[in-house]
Structure 1
Amino acid sequence: MKDNFSVQAAAYAAFRPHYPQELYDFLYSLPIPKDTAWDCATGNGQVAAVLAKVYKKVYASDISAAQLQHAPKLPNISYLTCPAESTPIPDKSIDLVTVAQAVHWFQFDKFNQEVRRMLRPHGWLAIWGYGLLQTDDEGLNNLIQQFYAHTLGPYWDAERRYIDEKYTSIPFPFKETTTPELNIAVDWTRQQFLGYLSSWSSVQHYLRQNGESPIPAFEGLLQNRWPSDKSIGLRFPVFMQLGQV
């Protein structure tokens, strides 16, 4: 698994969008005990902190110690610095495994084996992610798409295609269940939006290769369409795969 986010861990914690409550309510509705959950590739602990409100015990793992430094410290969360494919979590000890916006970095077969090892009978695996953000302004959508696909196109890791394909091409050898259609909705100023862009791995790759960030030039294109003092409604389409052993 690659570590693309330690360098911009602070930006990731500050600007990454939060998942809607409807997503967690759906997971809580699954017919399993609310005993132990594992949030894999937890990053800054965003999902783990919400699961900890309902689950008695939450393991939250990540390969990035820098990311985990930004995670909330709660008494029923145990943070682990380890890869997704090999953890110290005991066999048959987990009711629910969650992976948010990260499974595309994994070694799929080894991760699935690890899930099978630790899930209790009838336990669940939920993997989800979100696609490129959208607005009701088609002109702004076109600018964002141009920046995403053309300016940054060569700088995305190959694994980014799994996000574009909504995880449909990732091996998922579990008994699948239908999931609801969800979106992440935010109201952001231009500066918040640019802060979010700074957390993109492709922006960091661009910076390292060119010695400068692509964001200032992109901001210049936004100025006429997005005043600095104006908040705009944005939505991220969420996709999910849910399966049971």
Structure 2
Amino acid sequence: MAKDLFSRQAGEYARFRPGYPPELYEFLLSFVPDRDHAWDAGTGNGQAAIELARHFRNVTATDLSSEQISKAAKQPNITYYACPADNTPIAPASVDLITVAQAYHWFPFDSFAEEVRRVSRPGAIIAVWTYHLPVIHDTTLNDRLIDFYINRTGPFWDSERRYVDDRYASIPFPYRRLSDRNFNMFYDWTPAQMAGYLRSWSAVQHIMRESNIDPVQPFYESLLDRWPEGELKRIGFPITLIVGKVSG
């Protein structure tokens, strides 16, 4: 079963987790001839589902966390379910596109693949993507972020994080691979926004549960000598997308 690591910080996740660039969706949709029904698995608070709803008649969005679902943006053509990704109420042979944004590494790959095949129409497309550590466009600050990631939070990441670290190069993908593509998304953030994003990390939440200490606060304070609160810095998120065909 997939892990639920984000219920506790569902509010931070909704406020601070980044969305995805239009170019990613444009590229992905070029593989999808039929746009009746999309399924966004591991939807979180619906970042990808909202965009898919602009292109598909119906979108089903699922997440293991009911807390995450409660924070999701609502649209008339999106139906949300709190359920495991490998055991959904989706009708058989009904889905044209399956997407998994920044969640596939948490899934049980074999049983999820069985569910994907159960719900897919002939010719259905599956796309999974991940973003790695953000890049602060200031070398000194970025070095501090890398140090925080490796040395402060590193021991507290779940083992599945290794797939994100290698940008899904080693992740199981039991579908016919059609394309791999890299993208970037950019934001202009204040230090407080960066801190909010870091608090949405599962490793940070592990630290807070085990020690009742917020590891982000001292890191946030360490940024302020070069990044005063209220000042914007450009932040980049490198994305890796894998597109495949479910069968055939």
Given the two structures, how large is their TM-score scaled by the length of structure 2?
0.96
Structure 2 unaligned segments of length 5 or more: list them.
Answer: none
Asked if 1:196 corresponds to 2:197, the answer is: yes
Return the alpha-carbon distance in structure 2 between the equivalents of residues 31 and 153 of structure 1. 38
* Runs (4+) off by over 4 Å: none
| % identical equivalent positions | 47
Q: Deviations over 1:42-71 (max 9, x none)?
A: 110111111111100111001111111111
2:87 corresponds in structure 1 to 86
Return the alpha-carbon distance in structure 2 between the equivalents of residues 31 and 38 of structure 1. 13
TM-superposed CA distance for 1:147, in Å, is 0.3
TM-superposed CA distance for 1:229, in Å, is 2.1
Return the alpha-carbon distance in structure 2 between the equivalents of residues 174 and 155 of structure 1. 31
SS of residue matched to 1:113: helix
Instruction: Determine if contact 1:89/1:118 at 8 Å carries over to the other structure.
Output: yes
TM-superposed CA distance for 1:87, in Å, is 0.9
Q: Deviations over 1:5-44 (max 9, x none)?
A: 1111011000001100111111222242110000001110
Given the two structures, how large is their TM-score scaled by the length of structure 1?
0.97
SS of residue matched to 1:163: helix
Quick one: structure 1 residues 11 and 54, their matched pair in 2 at CA, closer, same or farther if it must change by over 3 Å? same
Asked if 1:12 corresponds to 2:13, the answer is: yes
Instruction: Determine if contact 1:206/1:213 at 8 Å carries over to the other structure.
Output: yes
TM-superposed CA distance for 1:179, in Å, is 3.6
SS of residue matched to 2:99: strand
Structure 2 counterpart of 1:72, which letter? A
Segment drifting more, 102-111 vs 132-141: 132-141
1:63 corresponds in structure 2 to 64
1:233 corresponds in structure 2 to 234
2:216 corresponds in structure 1 to 215
Return the alpha-carbon distance in structure 1 between the equivalents of residues 31 and 49 of structure 2. 17
SS of residue matched to 1:173: coil
Return the alpha-carbon distance in structure 2 between the equivalents of residues 175 and 41 of structure 1. 21
SS of residue matched to 2:115: helix
Asked if 1:113 corresponds to 2:114, the answer is: yes
Return the alpha-carbon distance in structure 2 between the equivalents of residues 241 and 31 of structure 1. 14
Return the alpha-carbon distance in structure 1 between the equivalents of residues 218 and 44 of structure 2. 29
Return the alpha-carbon distance in structure 2 between the equivalents of residues 166 and 119 of structure 1. 26
1:170 corresponds in structure 2 to 171
Return the alpha-carbon distance in structure 2 between the equivalents of residues 137 and 99 of structure 1. 31
Asked if 1:2 corresponds to 2:3, the answer is: yes
Instruction: Determine if contact 1:61/1:83 at 8 Å carries over to the other structure.
Output: yes
Instruction: Determine if contact 2:32/2:96 at 8 Å carries over to the other structure.
Output: no
TM-superposed CA distance for 1:227, in Å, is 1.2
SS of residue matched to 2:135: coil
Instruction: Determine if contact 1:108/1:170 at 8 Å carries over to the other structure.
Output: no
Return the alpha-carbon distance in structure 1 between the equivalents of residues 212 and 75 of structure 2. 39
Segment drifting more, 226-235 vs 171-180: 171-180
Structure 2 counterpart of 1:189, which letter? T
1:100 corresponds in structure 2 to 101
Return the alpha-carbon distance in structure 2 between the equivalents of residues 28 and 178 of structure 1. 12
Segment drifting more, 12-21 vs 65-74: 65-74
Return the alpha-carbon distance in structure 2 between the equivalents of residues 156 and 179 of structure 1. 26
Instruction: Determine if contact 2:92/2:119 at 8 Å carries over to the other structure.
Output: yes
SS of residue matched to 2:171: coil
